[in-house]
């Protein structure tokens, strides 16, 4: 039994006989084991990378918010309220939306005005205005990193995802900014803690400057330069 479990070796005893049936069965089992090891290792590394990316994105957004507060005329979605310094994220936006919904529900329980009564005594149904659709973030992979930053009553969503080495470094759709984590420059800067946040901030301010609708490239570069200067001033 023990002899049957051994893998046949060459005459020099330095290599297995690879075309033998025992070795083929062994190689098949080990390939499945190594595939599972690689899958779990990639998952662990992916979680670690996501945490780093999330921290860098949070820091970049915090700095950009500070720069926009100092330069409200550069905000692409309207001026920041005076005195607002809190860079609230997605949860704050959802809380505000729930509060508005509750206020609307309370107002509708007070009953219709006399003008809302039909001639037969039944209440008329008030017309419902169509809701405005906001751009939704399209995640390509399950480990995409998503953050939101609010400007007054509006906001910008930022998504770090995988778009391939040949994909664009950064692009935007509506108020959603996508950063390509597979781009060679991103992969290089991600390894350098001193420049990682600056790189992410550069990409975000680039798209924010373009959202404002510059008349020419020079105006866009000037806006981006102002935002980056104020975002990292004092460091």
Whole domain around residue 176: which residue ranges? Answer: 53-81+140-235
For the stretch 101-124, pLDDT in tens is 444 444 444 444 444 344 455 555
Residue 146 domain-assigned? yes
Residue 226 domain-assigned? yes
The mean per-residue pLDDT over the stretch 167-178 comes to 93
Task: Indicate the number of domains in the chain.
Answer: 1
The mean per-residue pLDDT over the stretch 63-87 comes to 69
User: What string of DSSP letters covers the chain?
Assistant: -HHHHSPPB-TTSSSB-TTSHHHHHHHHHHHHHHHHHHHHHHHHHHHHHHHHHHHHHHHHHHHHHHHHHH-GGG-TTSPPPTT------HHHHHHHHHHHHHHHHHHHTT---GGGB-TTSPBPPPPPPPPPPPPPP--SSTT-EEEEEEETTEEEEEEEE---TTS-SEEEETTEEEEETTSHHHHHHHT-HHHHHHHHHHHHHHHHHHHT--SSHHHHHHHHHHHHHHHSTT-
Mean pLDDT of all residues in the chain? 75
pLDDT top residue among 139 and 231: 231
For the stretch 187-233, pLDDT in tens is 999 999 889 999 999 999 999 999 888 889 999 999 999 999 999 98
For the stretch 22-64, pLDDT in tens is 888 888 888 888 887 777 766 666 688 888 899 999 999 999 9
Q: What is the pLDDT of residue 197?
A: 95
Residue 101 domain-assigned? no
Residue 164 domain-assigned? yes
């Amino acid at each position: 039994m023990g002899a049957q479990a051994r893998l046949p070796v060459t005459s020099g005893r330095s290599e297995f006989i690879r075309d033998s049936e025992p070795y083929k069965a062994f190689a098949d089992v080990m390939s499945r084991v190594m595939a599972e090891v690689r899958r779990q290792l990639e998952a662990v590394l992916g979680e670690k990378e996501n945490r780093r990316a999330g921290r860098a994105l949070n820091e970049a957004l915090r700095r950009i918010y500070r720069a926009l507060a100092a330069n409200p005329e550069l905000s692409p979605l309207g001026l920041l309220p005076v005195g607002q310094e809190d860079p609230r994220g997605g949860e704050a936006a959802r809380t505000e939306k729930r509060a508005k919904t509750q206020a609307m529900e309370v107002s509708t329980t007070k009953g219709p005005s006399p003008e809302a009564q039909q001639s037969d005594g039944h209440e008329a149904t008030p017309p419902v205005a169509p809701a405005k659709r906001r751009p939704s973030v399209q995640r390509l992979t399950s480990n995409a990193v998503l953050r939101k930053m609010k400007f007054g009553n509006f906001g910008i969503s930022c998504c770090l995802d995988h778009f391939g080495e040949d994909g664009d470094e950064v692009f935007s759709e509506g108020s959603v900014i996508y950063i390509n984590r597979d781009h060679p420059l991103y992969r290089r800067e991600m390894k350098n803690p001193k420049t990682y946040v600056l790189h992410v901030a550069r990409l975000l301010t680039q798209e924010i400057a373009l959202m404002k609708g510059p008349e020419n490239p020079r105006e866009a570069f000037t806006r981006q330069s102002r935002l980056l200067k104020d975002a990292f001033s004092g460091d």
